[in-house]
């Protein structure tokens, strides 16, 4: 578009119409906080204008200032030409109504485990106030660890990742939520560098994308750390280690809540002897499973 033509984009409505048209024409891939061009355009523009993200209508016909328009259109251009996910452009992601700082050191928060934490893992955790220790493996930005701390107010939460760069972001979010005393970031390769502890709840959103799917990832997802996505040939490399070692770190009545994304068939093939409880959310079916320590103890020889 000719830069002079941008001067015709005078209002919020004008900018949104233009952006939605451009996003649709470019066939962008969504899934990092929104699933369509309109919602993403609205989010980016309201962010740039420092307006409440849930209040659009009163401002639709408001005129934008030239510097506001320029800043927004530069962001739109990066979204179009570089396929940078919106969350990396704004430096933030929203999950269950909470804002988390993000950048390319971490994957963008979107785990449906967050929906289960908002319900305190009911009914699988009967007394949330009795949860003393929670472990969030592969924590990334720390979002699930923080949501776990909010769900279980009496718990100490350990947020674990192998990436020191990811933990820098997690520490930033932990500090922002004022949870320094209850959520602790640890650098560890799964359990390998963790001190012994009996966790009531272990949650994990590990790298689980199988190698074939990794090759077919849209450009937007290629901006995210490969380390946080790639799960080996069948997506189960990290999951095998996790299921093998988890019982040693679980309380007798402890539970493991594990996300496997679109790898349902690969999980069944890798662990045919397991009968997990499959947990449904508004946004996911057959993507999250729950296992008890008793189940994992029974199958340890098979995954050792």
| CATH 3.40.50.150 domain range(s) in the chain | 104-303
Biggest distance spanned by C-alpha atoms of the chain: 69
Low pLDDT (below 70) residues in the chain: 1-5, 300-304
DSSP-assigned states of every residue in 136-176: EES-TTSHHHHHHHHHSTT-EEEEEES-HHHHHHHHHHHHH
Fold of 104-303: Rossmann fold (3.40.50)
DSSP codes joined into one string, 62-77? PBPPHHHHHHHHHHHH
Summarize pLDDT for 189-201 with one digit per residue, the tens: 999 999 999 999 9
Burial of 304 (0-12, 13-18, 19+ CB in 10 A): exposed
Fold entry, domain 3-90:
Helicase, Ruva Protein; domain 3 (1.10.8)
Distance CA 202, CA 246 (A): 8
What stretch(es) of the chain map to CATH 1.10.8.10?
3-90
pLDDT digits (tens, 9 = 90+) for 228-280: 999 999 999 999 999 999 999 999 999 999 999 999 999 999 999 999 999 99
């Amino acid at each position: 578009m000719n830069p002079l033509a941008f001067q015709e984009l005078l209002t919020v409505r004008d900018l949104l119409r233009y952006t939605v048209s451009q996003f649709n024409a470019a066939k962008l891939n969504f899934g990092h906080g929104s699933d369509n061009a309109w919602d993403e355009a609205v989010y980016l523009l309201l962010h740039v204008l420092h307006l409440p993200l849930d209040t659009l209508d009163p401002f639709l016909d408001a005129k934008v200032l030239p510097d506001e328009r320029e800043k927004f259109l530069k962001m739109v251009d990066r979204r179009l030409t570089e396929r940078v996910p919106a969350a990396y452009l704004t430096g933030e992601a929203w999950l269950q109504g909470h804002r988390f700082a993000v950048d390319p050191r971490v994957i963008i928060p979107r785990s449906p485990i967050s929906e289960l934490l908002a319900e305190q893992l009911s009914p699988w955790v009967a007394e949330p106030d009795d949860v003393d220790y929670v472990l969030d493996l592969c924590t990334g930005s720390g979002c699930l660890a923080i949501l776990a701390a909010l769900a279980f107010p009496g718990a100490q939460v350990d947020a674990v990742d192998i990436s020191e760069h990811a933990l820098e972001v997690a520490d930033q979010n932990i500090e922002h939520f004022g949870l320094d005393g209850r959520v602790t970031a640890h650098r560890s390769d799964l359990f390998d560098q963790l001190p012994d502890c009996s966790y009531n709840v272990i949650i994990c959103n590990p790298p689980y994308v199988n190698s074939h799917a990794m090759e077919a990832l849209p450009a937007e997802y290629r901006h995210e750390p490969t380390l946080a996505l790639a799960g080996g040939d069948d997506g189960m490399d990290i999951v095998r280690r996790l299921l093998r070692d988890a019982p040693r770190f679980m309380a007798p009545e402890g539970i493991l809540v594990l996300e496997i994304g679109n790898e349902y068939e690969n999980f069944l093939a890798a662990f045919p002897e397991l009968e997990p409880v499959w947990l449904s959310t508004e946004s996911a079916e057959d993507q999250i499973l729950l296992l008890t320590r008793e189940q994992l103890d029974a199958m340890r020889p098979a995954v050792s």
